């Protein structure tokens, strides 16, 4: 209590500041959804174990576990692909059909053979209302905002 009083008195001088790892939280939940395709027309999403994807899947509870890949995908959605070059490596591994990456996912829509193409789309997610959830069975509403990474194939990387 005494420190809080001192802080309030010094605050106007901007000599000190409060600290919190997530002092300001985002109001929207934007997500990167990785999708694969064999023909460039029909796109199938890769599902992660913990982060939002399928709108009908309820949010998971994973504490005290820290799902690193899912968590990094959330941070990547707050920035650009240029600020998160590791995503390019992830996409290459999906195109190569990496079993190590496959184990990090909840669902790989290409279990037998990797897709020819992978892209990343950027969505805004919001929780549904209780009445929407009862009516649709969906936990989330999502809106496609833009492409995050363009369509890429292994042939383009050679």
Residues paired with residue 146 on neighbouring β-strands, in sequence order: 122
Q: How confident is the model at residue 21 (pLDDT cuts 50, 70, 90)?
A: low
Confidence label for 7 from pLDDT (cuts 50, 70 and 90): confident
pLDDT-derived band at 97, boundaries 50, 70, 90? very high
In this structure, the number of other CB atoms found within 10 A of the CB of residue 139 comes to 17
pLDDT band at 10 (very low <50, low <70, confident <90, very high): confident
Q: What's the pLDDT score for residue 23?
A: 60
Beta strands in 68-139 (DSSP E): 105-107, 117-127
Q: Taking all residues of the chain, what is their mean pLDDT, rounded to a whole number?
A: 91
Question: What is the per-residue pLDDT for 6?
Answer: 81
pLDDT at 79: 93
pTM for the full predicted model: 0.83
Residue 19 backbone dihedrals phi, psi, to 5 degrees:
-130, 140
8 Å CB contact between 75 and 29 = no
pLDDT digits (tens, 9 = 90+) for 102-143: 999 999 999 999 999 999 999 999 999 999 999 999 999 999
Q: Which two tokens stand for residue 120?
A: 């990343």
Q: 144 near 121, Cβ under 8 Å?
A: yes
27-62 pLDDT tens trace: 779 999 999 999 999 999 999 999 999 999 999 887
Cα-Cα end-to-end distance for the chain: 62
């Amino acid at each position: 209590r005494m420190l809080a009083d001192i802080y309030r008195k010094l605050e106007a001088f901007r000599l000190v500041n409060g600290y919190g790892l997530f002092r300001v939280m985002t109001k929207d939940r934007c997500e990167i959804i990785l999708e694969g395709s064999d023909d460039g027309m029909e796109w199938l999403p890769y599902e992660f174990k913990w982060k939002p994807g399928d709108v009908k899947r309820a949010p998971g509870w994973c504490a005290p576990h820290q799902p690193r890949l899912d968590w990094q995908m959330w941070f990547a959605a707050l920035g650009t692909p240029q600020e998160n070059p590791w995503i390019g490596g992830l996409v290459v591994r999906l195109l190569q059909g990496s079993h190590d990456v496959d184990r990090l996912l909840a669902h790989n829509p290409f279990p037998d053979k990797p897709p020819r193409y992978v892209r990343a789309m950027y969505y805004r997610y919001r929780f549904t209302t209780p009445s929407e959830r009862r009516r649709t069975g969906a936990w989330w509403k999502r809106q496609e905002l833009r492409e995050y990474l363009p369509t890429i194939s292994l042939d383009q990387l050679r």
